[in-house]
C-alpha cells in the first residue's frame, strides 16, 4: 500500500466533511470551506472522525492517485482549521513593498513600479522596519493557491547568486557563488 495513502486524515474539532455522489469532498471549518473532486475509482469514507481512502487495485495509476488524493484532503483539513502562511523577504537597496487592499505594490529596482492583483482568498500584509528588509506575509486556507501566488511574487525578481539580492522566502538558504578574483 501507499505509505501516504494508507494514513488516515484526522479531523480536528470544528471541522466537518461532506462527500457527494460525484466523489466531491467538501471540508468546512472555522476559517472557511474548500472542496476537491476525488477520482471516481477511489473510495472515500469517514470512520470515527477520520477520513480513510481506499483504492480498488494495485495498478500504478491507482497507487499514485491514492497518495495524491490523501495529501490533498489532509491539506484541506489543515487549511480550514489552521490556515497556511508564507513569508517573502525583499533583499536589496531601495526594494520596498506596500499592500493596498488586494493589490501589492512593489519597487524592485526596475524603472517602474510593479502592481500585482492578488486573489480574494489570499490575504497580504507587508512589514517594513528600519535597518531590516521588507517582509511580505501571505495567508490563505488553500495551500496550492498560496504557493502559486508566492512563486509568482518570487519570480518577479529571483535572488541572484553573487550578492543574494532579490525576493526570497524567509529562512531560504541560497547557494552563493564567489565573485571575480583579482589577478596578480
Neighbours of 27 (CB within 10 A): 25
Instruction: Tell whether 184 is covered by a domain.
Output: no
Q: What percent of the chain has pLDDT over 70?
A: 97
Task: Report the domain count for the chain.
Answer: 2
Q: Are residues 14 and 43 in the same domain?
A: yes
pLDDT score, position 71: 95
Instruction: Tell whether 183 is covered by a domain.
Output: no
Distance CA 168, CA 184 (A): 36
Q: Are residues 88 and 151 in the same domain?
A: yes
pLDDT, tens digit (0-9, with 9 covering 90-100), for 143-174: 999 999 999 999 999 999 999 999 999 999 99
Q: What percent of the chain has pLDDT over 90?
A: 85
Contact between 83 and 71 under an 8 Å Cβ cutoff? The reply is no
pTM: 0.89
Tell me the three cell numbers of residue 4. 501516504
Q: Are residues 98 and 138 in the same domain?
A: yes
pLDDT, tens digit (0-9, with 9 covering 90-100), for 95-146: 999 999 999 999 999 999 999 999 999 999 999 999 999 999 999 999 999 9
pLDDT score, position 2: 64
Considering 57, 81, 105, which residue would you say is the last residue of a domain? Answer: 81
Q: What is the CA 128 to chain-centroid distance, rounded?
A: 23
Considering 47, 81, 115, which residue would you say is the last residue of a domain? Answer: 81
Supply the range of the domain harboring residue 141. Answer: 84-169
Domain with 14 in it: what CATH number?
3.90.930.12
Amino acid at each position: 500500500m501507499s505509505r501516504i495513502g494508507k494514513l488516515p486524515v484526522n479531523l480536528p474539532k470544528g471541522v466537518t466533511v461532506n462527500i457527494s455522489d460525484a466523489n466531491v469532498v467538501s471540508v468546512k471549518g472555522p476559517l472557511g470551506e474548500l472542496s476537491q473532486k476525488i477520482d471516481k475509482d477511489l473510495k472515500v469514507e469517514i470512520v470515527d472522525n477520520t477520513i480513510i481512502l481506499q483504492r480498488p487495485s494495485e495498478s500504478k495509476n491507482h497507487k499514485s492517485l491514492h497518495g495524491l488524493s490523501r495529501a490533498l484532503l489532509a491539506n484541506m483539513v489543515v487549511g480550514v482549521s489552521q490556515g497556511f502562511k508564507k513569508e517573502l523577504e525583499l533583499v536589496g537597496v531601495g526594494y520596498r513593498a506596500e499592500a493596498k487592499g488586494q493589490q501589492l505594490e512593489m519597487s524592485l529596482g526596475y524603472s517602474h513600479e510593479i502592481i500585482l492583483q492578488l486573489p480574494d482568498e489570499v490575504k497580504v500584509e507587508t512589514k517594513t522596519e528600519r535597518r531590516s528588509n521588507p517582509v511580505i506575509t501571505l495567508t490563505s486556507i488553500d495551500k496550492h493557491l498560496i504557493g502559486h501566488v508566492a512563486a509568482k511574487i518570487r519570480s518577479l525578481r529571483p535572488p541572484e547568486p553573487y550578492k543574494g539580492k532579490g525576493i526570497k522566502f524567509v529562512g531560504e538558504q541560497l547557494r552563493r557563488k564567489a565573485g571575480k578574483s583579482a589577478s596578480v
